[in-house]
């Protein structure tokens, strides 16, 4: 990063907004330090790249605030050899963070324009272990299942059954659950007897639109 102001803002993000709020996974912090968040947003809001808030992107979607990105990533407990399914590619920022930490990432986005833009940027930045797909993320992607981890960057009322079915035993699903206005970010670990659920933080995401999510509109 050549912009001194952005470099300064990134250090504040890492120290105050992430470490200061309980993000302790060193690999996650290092990934957040490496990925240039400013590349994933429009030039008009470039100066806000490392502010701890969600920012608008195309197609009425958002790029999540850095703390939420870090919290969700930390909850996945990535060790480096996992196959990760991401629901909601969006700008590709979370995809890049995952690609820094996992063996392989499959990411589904329902907006073709967003997926295409993210694919170009991720390739430019050298992330070659990422496969981007346009489709209904609520249904997952059976062709490449099972997955060790699944991250859902959109809100659902209930965890989609297709996603749980595509998760390996012992695998982790991180997803915001609730209504359209307010959700609770949850970690769901798949066990032989069912699931173990841990609530992480109140949050607010765009809705998961699809057959196992919210209807369009």
Determine the straight-line distance between the first and last CA of the chain, rounded to whole angstroms.
39
What are the helix (H) ranges across the chain? 4-12, 26-34, 66-75, 93-101, 112-124, 161-165
Instruction: Write the CB contacts of 160 (distance below 8 Å, at least 6 apart in sequence).
Output: 138, 139, 140, 208, 210, 212, 213
Instruction: Write the CB contacts of 182 (distance below 8 Å, at least 6 apart in sequence).
Output: 202, 204
Instruction: Write the CB contacts of 137 (distance below 8 Å, at least 6 apart in sequence).
Output: 87, 88, 108, 109, 110, 152, 154, 208, 210, 213
Instruction: Write the CB contacts of 216 (distance below 8 Å, at least 6 apart in sequence).
Output: 209
Q: Is 24 known to be catalytic?
A: no
Tell me if residue 174 falls in helix, strand or coil. strand
- Neighbour order of strands in the sheet with 130-134: 130-134, 104-109, 83-87, 147-152, 167-178, 183-191, 194-203
Check 24, 64, 107, 199 and give the catalytic one. Answer: 64
- Catalytic residue numbers read 64
């Amino acid at each position: 990063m050549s912009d001194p102001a952005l470099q300064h803002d990134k250090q504040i993000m890492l120290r105050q907004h992430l470490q200061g709020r309980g993000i302790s996974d060193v690999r996650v912090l290092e990934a957040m330090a490496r990925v240039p968040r400013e590349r994933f947003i429009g030039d008009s809001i470039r100066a806000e790249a490392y502010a701890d808030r969600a920012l608008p992107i195309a197609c009425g979607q958002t790029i999540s605030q850095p703390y939420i990105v870090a919290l969700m990533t930390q909850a996945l407990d990535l060790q480096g050899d996992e196959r990760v399914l991401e629901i909601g590619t969006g700008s590709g920022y979370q995809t890049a963070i995952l690609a820094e930490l996992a063996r392989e990432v499959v990411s589904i986005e329902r907006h073709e324009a967003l997926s295409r833009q993210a694919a170009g940027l991720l390739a430019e930045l050298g992330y070659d272990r990422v496969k981007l797909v346009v489709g209904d993320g609520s249904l997952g992607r059976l062709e490449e299942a099972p997955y060790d981890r699944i991250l859902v960057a959109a809100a659902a009322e209930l965890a989609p059954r297709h996603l749980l079915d595509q998760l390996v035993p012992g695998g982790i699903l991180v997803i915001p659950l609730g209504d359209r206005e307010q959700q609770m970010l949850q970690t769901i670990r798949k066990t032989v007897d069912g699931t173990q659920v841990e609530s992480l933080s109140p949050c607010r995401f765009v809705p998961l639109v699809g057959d196992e999510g919210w209807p369009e509109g």
